[in-house]
Amino acid sequence: MSDELSGNFIRDIVAEDLRAGKHETVVTRFPPEPNGYLHVGHAKSICLNFGVAQEFGGRCHLRFDDTNPLKEEQEYIDSIKEDVRWLGFDWGEHLYNASDYFDQLYEWAELLIRNGRAYVDDQSADQIRESRGTLTEGGRDSPYRGRSGEENLDLFRRMRAGEFPDGARVLRAKIDMASPNINLRDPVMYRILHARHPMTGDKWCIYPSYDYAHGQSDAIEGVTHSLCTLEFEDHRPLYDWFLEHLPVPSRPRQYEFARLNLSYTVLSKRFLLQLVKEGRVRGWDDPRMPTLSGMRRRGFPPEGIREFARMIGVAKRESVVDYAALEHSARDYLNRTVIRRMAVLRPLKVVITNYPEGQTEEFAAVDNPEDPGAGTHPVPFSPILYIERDDFMEEPPKKFYRLAPGREVRLRYAYLITCREVVKDASGQVVELRCTYDPATRGGTAPDGRSPKATLHWVSAAHARPAEVRLYEHLFKSPEPGAAGDLLADLNPRSEEVLARAWIEPGAAGLAVGERVQFERLGYFCVDPDRSADRLVFNRTVTLRDTWAKVQSRQK
Ligand code: ATP
Ligand code: MG
């Protein structure tokens, strides 16, 4: 994949349908089941559905596919709405639920029964599964398949009236038990579930299956292009079968595209729920989670996620996208937009021995070199500073150009300093560096033209504010989690590192929760809601190093 756009065959189909006059306008829908929080895979689908509608002046519905009350909750409904809005999309007045159509779906089910196209089956779920056959072998007719229309209608009404316990009976479409497509072997349309539904309460004790509810909901809403992932390709004949045999008000068409797979990432609400329930992460919005709420908390900008979706395109072929491509898109946006500040994550004390005691001065640091409109902010300097512990080595190896005994480096915006003395504690740990500065190098340039190879970030000890900084690695240590069978065994035990004693320059102390900043040389960060009145908490969104761009240029 290069920087130019990958294709989007769905967009091409829509454009052609509109050009040919097949539809006056395009209507799509994003149909999440409210059984968990949305993840970045859903973002691909959201960007596609809302994006295509937007581009061609149509509309996109948000429809909750709420056909299974056992797993669905209001919390998930709320989070899904919040996440879609956060991504930058608006369904306007087109917010729907599959449950809005329960009455109509029920009526149509009775119609299919009356037309001899559906029957009540008394077999258990196991018996139904077992008699369904396999990919290579046809299924066997249920002993109840020949029931009269009247008996079916009576039983179905009694199912609805609550006469039977869960699992006692189902309604099945009567299609073809010998079909090579298992989905057409008399699929279940209704099951008995004595469960309270978030929307319809106790009105129903039978609930429609996804396959039965979905296409009819599309048709009721006038959806023109019903976009779903490839695993539904084999369901399309069933989708069409219902539409053909029911007096639906419109004829939507289903198109399938390849789901997003990301390296080092698991995109499955069910598995993410397990991580949350077992306490393996802090919650759905843990910054390591591939959920949109987790990514938001981590600092990913919605603009970066939309750009990512545009960049990866939409294809019919399954593939795995490099996680670094997602970071690349975020970084690209952050680089152009966020302010720069200095912070020291693992502090090492530096004393400038020849700097006048009690004196401070200020340097003007640029807010964002990528943004000509951005200004500067003052950075205070004083004789006691902190630098990054790993910017110093007592015995530097060959390619280490940063600070070392006797060596001169540049302090960003400030002066050139030279390390004169290394102070250690009783255990031999370096606890302080005693350095001198060259007053003639104010701003970082020497009049004689000498220029050290390294420029270090720093903060003034007297002015710095304490902060906690959380660094993240992939949640999984394997690029293909679970490939060896066990997903949990692939969890990365080092996915989070908490640095509780970081220092930030005062110019970063006023940042609000959710605000983003580049800490120079360290990466992009975002203020976490865990902040307290006297201490900010930062999540690192991404580092500055763009591994993805590097790989791309090597491939060219
Ligand atoms: P999960 O397995 O994570 O629960 P799902 O497909 O069951 O996902 P739904 O709530 O049914 O979740 O999905 C809503 C829409 O998002 C569907 O149209 C689905 O095809 C799409 N979608 C889900 N996962 C992905 C993905 N990884 N890439 C692209 N689209 C996805
Ligand atoms: Mg699902």
Q: Which residues are CB-contacts of 270 (< 8 A; sequence separation ≥ 6)?
A: 35, 36
Q: Which ligand is nearest to the CA of 65?
A: 1
Q: Which residues are CB-contacts of 14 (< 8 A; sequence separation ≥ 6)?
A: 26, 52, 56, 225
pLDDT of residue 4: 46
Closest CA to 121 of 166, 178, 169: 169
What type of residue sits at position 301?
P
Over residues 119-133, the pLDDT tens digits come to 999 999 999 999 999
CA 269–ligand 2 middle distance (angstroms): 8
**By percentage, how much of the chain surpasses pLDDT 70?**
98
Q: Which ligand is nearest to the CA of 83?
A: 1
Q: Annotate 28-94 with DSSP letters as a single string.
A: EEE---SSS--BHHHHHHHHHHHHHHHHTT-EEEEEE----TTT--HHHHHHHHHHHHHHT---TT-
29, 160, 191, 269: the active-site residue: 269
CA distances from 20 to 255, 419, 455, 458 (A): 18, 74, 61, 63
259 part of the active site:
yes
pLDDT of residue 434: 98
33 part of the active site:
yes
Nearest alpha carbon, ligand 1 atom 2 = 268
- The residues of the chain scoring below 50 in pLDDT are 1-4
Nearest alpha carbon, ligand 1 atom 25 = 41
pLDDT of residue 2: 42
Q: Which ligand is nearest to the CA of 39?
A: 1
196 part of the active site:
no
Nearest atom in ligand 1 to the alpha carbon of residue 227 is 18
Q: Annotate 346-406 with DSSP letters as a single string.
A: SEEEEEETTSPTT--EEEEEES-TT-TT--EEEEEE-SEEEEEGGGB-SS--TT--SB-TT
Domains contained in the chain, CATH given: 4-257 (3.40.50.620), 269-339+467-555 (1.10.1160.10), 346-462 (2.40.240.10)
pLDDT of residue 372: 85
> How much is the pTM?
0.95
Nearest alpha carbon, ligand 1 atom 9 = 32
Q: Count the alpha carbons within 13 Å of 191 in the hemisphere toward its beta carbon.
A: 17
Ligand 1 pocket (Cβ < 6 Å) reads: 31-33, 41-42, 44-45, 65, 228-229, 259-260, 267-270
